[in-house]
Amino acid sequence: MPVNSALVSADHATGASSECALAIVPVQIKVAKGSKTINTYAFLDPGSSATFCTENLMNQLNVRGRRTEILLRTMGQERPVKSYELTGLEVGSIDGSVYIDLPKVYTQPKIPVSKENLLNILDLEKWPYLKEIELKRIDADIEILIGINVPKAMEPWQIVNSQRNGPYAVKTVLGWVVNGPLHSCSSTNETGLISVTANRISMENLKDLLIRQYNHDFPEKDYDEKREMSVEDKLFMSIATSSVELKNGHYHLPLPFRDKDATLPNNYEMAAQRMLNLAKRFKKDSAYANEYATFMEDVLRKGYAEKVPQEQLQMSNGHVWYIPHHGVYHKQKAKLRVVFDCSCSYKGESLNSKLLQGPDLTNPLLGVLLRFRHERIAIMADIEAMYYQVRVLHHHCDFLRFLWWPQGDVNQPLEIYRMNVHLFGAVSSPSIANFALKQTGTDNSERYSSQVIDTIKHSFYVDDCLRSVASVKEAIMLTKDLREACTLGGFTLNKWVSNSGEVLETIPQNYRAPLLKQLNLDCEKPPLERALGIQWNILKDVLTFRVTVKNQAPTRRTILSIVSSIYDPLGFLSPFVLKAKQILQRLCHGKYGWDEIIPMEVMKPWQRWLAEVDQLSRFEVDRCMKPENFGFIKTAELHHFCDASELGYGTVSYLKLTDSSKNVHVTFVLGKARVIPLKRMTVPRLELAAATLAVKVDRMLRKELHMELKDSTFWTDSTVVLKYIHNQTKRFHTYVANRIAVIHNLSQPHQWRYVCSGDNPADDASRGLQIESLLNSTRWLNGPHFLTKENSEWPKIPEDLNCLSSDDVEVKREITTNYLNLQNNATTRIIEHYSSWSKLLRAVAWWLRLKKLLMLRTQRDKALVMDSKWKVEQKGLTPENLDEAEKSIIRYDQQRFFDPELTLLRKGKHIKSDSSIHKLDPILDEGILMIGGRLSKAALP
């Protein structure tokens, strides 16, 4: 059976040490809504993000989970192991007074914790300050490890702090646990083995890769239809629009609570415990501590946060929440950012669970990039600390409290602070920040030009601004006015970049990108910059690609990781990337595990493709869609080419520009290359899928290009697809009919034209290209040569597009039925008599009852007749009577029209291929013909 993979890492060195007490507590385990309970010990492991139980416990509970495979990392080594994934379990205190739902639980042969780490009474007597602790003991093994993904089990209800380097005790919902050393620090372990447990399970890495790949491959899905806001999104917008106000140069917005009277429990102790953990990290990593302190001091200095006044410290109205925080590093920048953990749960509640997320107000990345390529002069900037520029209404600030040490000195007592701004980490902050930015454009629409307002509303992707304009003068004016307008909303634009030295000269050095601040623009070469993840060579004004591949074991997971790392939202490299996607599909079809070394027959093409990745640095494409000195655009039109093969299908789109001097230029806009579905399809159907993709891409581009466009033209080398599109009379099977409906909805038949395969650039998208072929291909980036010519010189349209043969497998056959003079028996007379289905059912049911009674009487068994439920004296019809009547009608009618098929199926034979129902894969069920269809191939139990 196919095995799904999860990724688990567990570092564990077994040993016989009893030097430390671990958080082990007696519990009850049971199946949700079940009555059978198992008494066992649970190890509460806050260092684990997964929950595990033993296979023995699974057997005792008499449950069986889904087979899966997890990747165990043990002291840096990795090995896949089989496991069961269990759901629907509950853990409770040993007295059964409280139960907690468990998330997915993964089985292992044993839990890597010894009962020697269980504190005994003698150990407890050594520490008098723990004498009030009540520890319960049972005769059982440690059968379950509960990770941090069960926060209710971890929440500290009461803490007895450590004294003289001894253990400390924590009361949880499951009972008291004791942690820490049991002897002095100088004692040694005779065995030399130390027991260390640190388990991790992370399905997010794989999940994120798959989601990222899907969103990259299928962006047109967001344009399929107009999406209405949800009820919660409408509530968010109502709160934002009714509450927003501009004060002291910044927009003020409330925390958008689901419930306006929301309250939260006091979680100070939990936040303080997190700070103790952070202090340990600081002591181990001084560089991390210094960067963290610098960030926090910057937050306080700029007024993003403030110390809570003494008289407000003891608030108890449920409007206080302490947010733990931690530091993360940017992937491309060696810079630490402090993230506030608004999802952290205490007693089952968190700040994020109380907040509305809000609608996605971020501009589509694809649109921002496309418009960035419009004109010759490009500018790029970044909003400084975007989220922190939007202030929180004062009465909500205490929901954003946090703990910190004065000057970051962990030797000083913790102090209480609160944020005055919306946080990086709150689920609502992205929508809040985007709302405030767009509000800046709305509120200043009469003070600034439409170009400035359009830039504010449509040229930002989160905090990054990308815009292109026609001239240096226009760019200088735009940068000046844009900076002023954004400042009015509290947003400061910095890290300015431009391909024009003249534009950069007008921007103060301290507002330029870091690498451009000290640059002598007259003689020094500008560096590479990143434009929404794409490398931009400012000097040459080209977009480039560079992929760094780490030396990793060749598995499905690593291949997916490498393929996903090629960031190419516009699809310039899609024919090359398709080759790797085909390798992934082969592995998927072969049902190889995510962490299984790929077989040799796949290894060779993978190594060949991998060897070519370094050559991607040679690939360059002009950032601007127009060549230098190209005149005023008179007309612009999109041309979409589509194609499919037995290897893949795809599209490529070009923009044909004509200036006032009748100069013509064709430029690449967007490419898509996809593998074919795992379930094999005919090439005509794949060609139709490619054509459907082309019209969806057209709708997407017409919305995002923000240009005046003539009618689009669609090109395919499939005359079958063209005949389907031009057909007016034939009826198609469902697959074809649905896609033709989409094509007709988004285009007109006259927009579709024929191109021979040799001139179709989408052929590259359907088959893939090696890197050298891609680098040397002019057809892929520039389109076929005839696009630059007059329409009269385009390939001729076939003359027989309206002549679609009735023998085409996708055309529904028209069945002519001749009336047969069937035997006019009782059933026929009853069926012909009634026009109402319900009345017919009842009549047939009564008739069947009478028939049954007469049959019984012929057997002269009066006792059976008197006792039979079919006797005439019985009052009313039962549901069973009506059900049998319905089946009887169906059997009778099927016998009239499908007698040969029924005869063959009753004999266990296959029906003939010329039967009208052969494609439906019919089966017999209770003597009734049923459609077999796809269910026979489904993975059903």
Query: Most confidently modeled of 38-47, 240-249, 730-739?
Result: 240-249
Whole-angstrom distance, CA of residue 666 vs CA of residue 649:
23
For residue 735, how many other CB atoms are within 10 A of its CB?
Answer: 14
Tell me: pLDDT of 654 over 90. yes
Same domain membership, residue 647 and residue 604: no
User: Is the residue at 919 inside a domain?
Assistant: yes
Q: Is 181 left (phi over 0), alpha (psi -120 to 50) or beta?
A: beta
Of the pLDDT bands very low, low, confident and very high (cuts 50, 70, 90), residue 767 is: very high
pLDDT at residue number 97: 82
Region 738-765: mean pLDDT is 95
In this prediction, residues 38-53 reach a mean pLDDT of 89
Give the Cβ contact number of residue 824 at 10 Å.
9
pLDDT at 923: 78
Per mean pLDDT, which range of 152-166, 498-512, 750-764, 907-921 is the poorest? Answer: 907-921
Percent of the chain residues topping a pLDDT of 70:
85
For residues 540 and 528, what is the distance between their CA atoms, to the nearest angstrom? 10
Paired residues of 753 in beta bridges: 715
Same-domain pairing of 828 and 769: no
The answer to whether 534 and 369 are in contact (CB under 8 A) is: yes
CA dihedral (432, 433, 438, 441) in degrees, to 10, reads 130
The pLDDT-based confidence of 841 (bands split at 50, 70, 90) is confident
What is the C-alpha to C-alpha distance for residues 925 and 934, in angstroms, rounded to an integer? Answer: 16
The pLDDT of residue 847 is 82
Which H helix or E strand runs over 410?
none
Could you give the CA distance from residue 797 to residue 817 in angstroms, rounded to a whole number? 39
- Tally of structural domains, the chain: 6
Whole-number pLDDT of residue 515: 76
Is the residue at 323 inside a domain?
yes
pLDDT of 637 reads 98
Report strand pairing: 66-74 vs 4-13.
parallel
Contact at 8 Å (CB) between 737 and 810? no
Give me the pLDDT at residue 264, please. 95
Q: What is the pLDDT of residue 715?
A: 98
Whole-number pLDDT of residue 811: 72
Q: How far does Cα 327 stand from its chain's mean position?
A: 24
1 pLDDT band (50/70/90 cuts)? very low
Check pLDDT > 50 for residue 184. Answer: no
- More confident of the two residues 64 and 620: 620
Residue whose pair of structure tokens reads 């100088």 in the numeric block:
186
How far is the CA of 752 from the CAs of 407, 415, 712, 745, 799, in angstroms? Answer: 69, 70, 9, 13, 13
Supply the pLDDT for residue 210.
58
Q: Contact 356/239 with Cβ under 8 angstroms?
A: yes
pLDDT of res. 336: 86
Query: Token pair for residue 301?
Result: 């200095």
Based on the domain organization, do 768 and 864 belong to the same domain? no
Least confident of 110-119, 303-312, 346-355, 816-825: 816-825
Q: Are residues 127 and 267 in the same domain?
A: no
| Domain-terminating residue out of 880, 915, 933 | 880
User: Amino acid identity, residue 239?
Assistant: I
Nearby residues of 206 by Cβ (< 8 Å), 6 or more positions away: 5, 7, 557, 560, 594
Pairing state between β 305-307 and 325-329: unpaired
Domain check: are 160 and 268 in the same one? no
Residues 79 and 20 in one domain: yes
User: What pLDDT sits at residue 546?
Assistant: 85
Dihedrals phi, psi of 172, to nearest 5 degrees: -115, 175
What's the confidence (pLDDT) of residue 492? 97
Query: In sequence order, what are the beta bridge partners of 659?
Result: 633
Q: What's the DSSP call for residue 676?
A: P
User: Would 588 be classed as within a structural domain?
Assistant: yes
608 and 645 fall within a common domain: no
33 with 134, same domain? Answer: yes
Mean pLDDT, rounded, for 614-637: 94
pLDDT of 423: 93
Q: In whole angstroms, how far apart are CA 235 and each of 192, 359, 442, 443?
A: 61, 10, 21, 22
**What is the pLDDT at residue 874?**
53
- For residue 805, pLDDT over 50 is answered with yes
Q: What is the pLDDT of the chain when averaged over all its residues?
A: 84
| pLDDT score for 728 | 78
Beta strands, E only, 681-731: 713-716
Same domain, 300 and 371: yes
Collapsing DSSP states into helix, strand and coil, what is residue 829? helix
Does 738 map to a domain?
A: yes
Which pLDDT band, with edges at 50, 70 and 90, does 218 fall under? low
Q: Which of 612, 636, 652 is the last residue of a domain?
A: 612
pLDDT at 856 over 50: yes
Q: C-alpha angle with apex 741: 754 to 710, nearest 5 degrees?
A: 55
Residues 354 and 330 grouped into a single domain: yes
Task: Give the three-class secondary structure for 745.
Answer: helix
- What is the mean pLDDT of the segment spanning 522-532? 63
Cα torsion angle, 371, 372, 375, 381, sign:
positive
Judge contact between 898 and 817, C-beta under 8 A.
Answer: no
pLDDT of 54 > 50? The answer is yes
Structure tokens at 572: 């310039």
Q: Is residue 563 part of a domain?
A: yes
Tokens 């570092």 identify what position? Answer: 11
CA-to-CA dists, residue 636 to 239, 749, 752, angstroms = 42, 21, 18
Q: Could you tell me if residue 132 is inside a domain?
A: yes
**What confidence category does residue 481 fall into, taking pLDDT thresholds of 50, 70 and 90?**
very high
- Quote the pLDDT of residue 194: 40
Q: Which of 288-292, 407-411, 911-915 has the lowest average pLDDT? A: 911-915
Q: Which helix (H) or strand (E) holds 176?
A: strand 175-181
Using CA atoms, how far residue 847 sits from 65, 144, 894, in Å, is 50, 64, 20
365 and 312 in a common domain:
yes
Residue range of the domain that includes 918: 898-941
CB 532 within 8 A of CB 514: no
Question: Same domain, yes or no, for 649 and 579?
Answer: no
Instruction: State residue 527's pLDDT score.
Output: 60
**What does the alpha-carbon distance between residue 39 and residue 140 come to, in Å, rounded to a whole number?**
7
Last residue of a domain, one of 170, 202, 234: 202
CATH of the domain at 696: 3.30.420
Residue 140 has pLDDT above 60, yes or no: yes
In a domain, 423, yes or no: yes
Residues 464 and 479: their CA atoms lie apart, in Å, by 14
Which are the contacts of 851, defined by CB distance < 8 A and separation ≥ 6?
Answer: none
Give the residue, 898 or 540, on which the prediction is more confident: 540
* 165 falls within a domain: yes
Per-residue 3-state assignment (H helix, E strand, C coil) for 597-617: ECCHHHHHHHHHHHHHHHHHH
